[in-house]
Structure 1
């Protein structure tokens, strides 16, 4: 478990939506500082003096290196930045698929590689990775990126545990942010996602399964693949 009191956090994609909600809730739970990382740091709300805007493009190795140099006191990392392109893996735009993997998979992996030594040097802490219910239910390139990140989280969790670093994967369906503006149906409020994710951090859990959609998919993962994809049984 990781007590958030007095922690210094860094949240990627923090200028709006879920990222901004993570920053606010981390501070509400006692974090002393939150680096709000974004490609355009001028877009970050800095009304709270504990919020430190930080330029970070998770697809740019040099940008990641500079961010790690600028934030050597981090003990909680939230890999939140992501995009939703969702191309067909068979016939979709390959450049767009690469862009999606660069952001949703390689971004968190490279940011983790840069900051894991910092967390370790600072005595340990926590990494939160935003997965999706689509980590477990495939609909195209987006879900492939999230499935890959789920696997990466499992690997890094095992590797970093002996160094006192907790890795929490967050699975959720549609969240009520700009990214899901196109989607119909129920969308989980950002505040709920963030609250349950940070509850998992403080409880020492490995995953946060937020909302009915993620819970339903998780419940059938041990069953025949045709339960998830009934069209295969036709």
Structure 2
């Protein structure tokens, strides 16, 4: 049963850019008494649950396209990840705004995050609520950096051009290196300080594409094209 309905475009006195015409909603984030709805075009609206009214749009400039949202419960703020037309939409920019500022419509009182990081594609930023960490990747120098989600302090970095992917799990990170002919090197790191907990290799079927490698608790899941899913039950064994 429909209980409430919100309209991102409900203010007839606000003239939005033509590019911000109606698009489907791709992300909804709830934070205390507010609801944030992000449209496919990059327009994001903030709504009050009590009054069922839109408070404001989170786009602070006409050329800003918001790509994703993250509610940081550690400091009661909303993080927006955006790209800008003035930058040819090439770099991710992060901004944090306290929820109280959003209630007041003081969007310009938020502040940018990770300004020293080059987040040009295929660079990225990932927010890990479970471990309270932020992972960034700067593609130009193949550097991963880990920050504290509570205060955004830099913790440590990992620089290795042979890393293909990093998967985050509770307490640890699974580092997946470039696939060799019949195996893939793997490493498990502590999420807290980046120290190596285990280094090993996983055998693979030769000439088969790897669909995914995932970690689930103490198990490693490996799937290759046209092969059965492998579940390795001795991830921590020697």
- Structure 2-normalised TM-score? 0.27
- Structure 1-normalised TM-score? 0.27
With CA pairs under 8 Å and 6+ residues apart, which has the higher RCO, 1 or 2?
1
Which has more strand, going by share of residues?
A: 2
